[in-house]
Amino acid sequence: MDQRISIKFCVKNKIKCAAAFRMLTVAYGEATLNQSNVYRWYKMFSEGRKDVNDEERAPRPSTSTTDENIDKVKKIVLANRRITVTGVAEDLNISIGSCHSILTNDLRMSRVHFDQKQHRVIIAQEVLDSVRDDPNVLQRVITGDESWVHGYI
């Protein structure tokens, strides 16, 4: 932004673009905008542009995250829950990043290992057994949220 302000200053003081570029090179060294950008900004300010900020750009269009691909990813994963993100990406010929984005953002899926599932089943069974053995056990739960239940026996 500082360099654009400097370029605008040079335009207002009728300093030639080549001289402005040399001055920027002395002032900013290796961090100087490249010559084509200096000339581009110089031209825009010469033509009456006032704002030194870059204009908003549209985000890069998504080519892989389509409704069709989302449906295909969902079908593949539901058919084979052991498939990897790389495997799905290769099957659909899309990037791993796009495939991962579809799985996590669009389908709200996350990777859960079999051991984690088994552990959850065991813990849930222990909680159910505690309730069967002592119906008042839930009155002794002090804290809890959607992923943890703290039981004190």
pLDDT of res. 136: 83
For the stretch 19-27, contacts whose Cβ atoms lie closer than 8 Å and that sit 24 or more positions apart, written own/partner, are none
pLDDT of res. 91: 92
Q: Quick check: is 61 in a domain?
A: no
* Distance in angstroms (rounded) separating the CA atoms of residues 128 and 134: 10
- pLDDT tens figures, 25-55: 998 888 888 889 889 989 988 998 888 887 7
* pLDDT tier for residue 153 given thresholds of 50, 70 and 90: low
Flag whether pLDDT at 87 surpasses 60: yes
Flag whether pLDDT at 103 surpasses 80: yes
* pLDDT tier for residue 70 given thresholds of 50, 70 and 90: very high
pLDDT of res. 71: 93
Q: Quick check: is 26 in a domain?
A: yes
Which distant-in-sequence residues (6+ apart) come within 8 Å of 6 by Cβ? Answer: 20, 23, 24, 27
Flag whether pLDDT at 74 surpasses 70: yes
Q: Quick check: is 116 in a domain?
A: yes
Q: How many domains does the chain have?
A: 2
- Asked if 141 contacts 104 with a C-beta cutoff of 8 angstroms, the reply is no
Flag whether pLDDT at 144 surpasses 60: no
| CATH number for 16 | 1.10.10
Q: Which domain holds residue 11?
A: 1-47
Residues 91 and 127 in one domain: yes
Over residues 119-132, the mean pLDDT reads 87
pTM of the shown model? 0.39
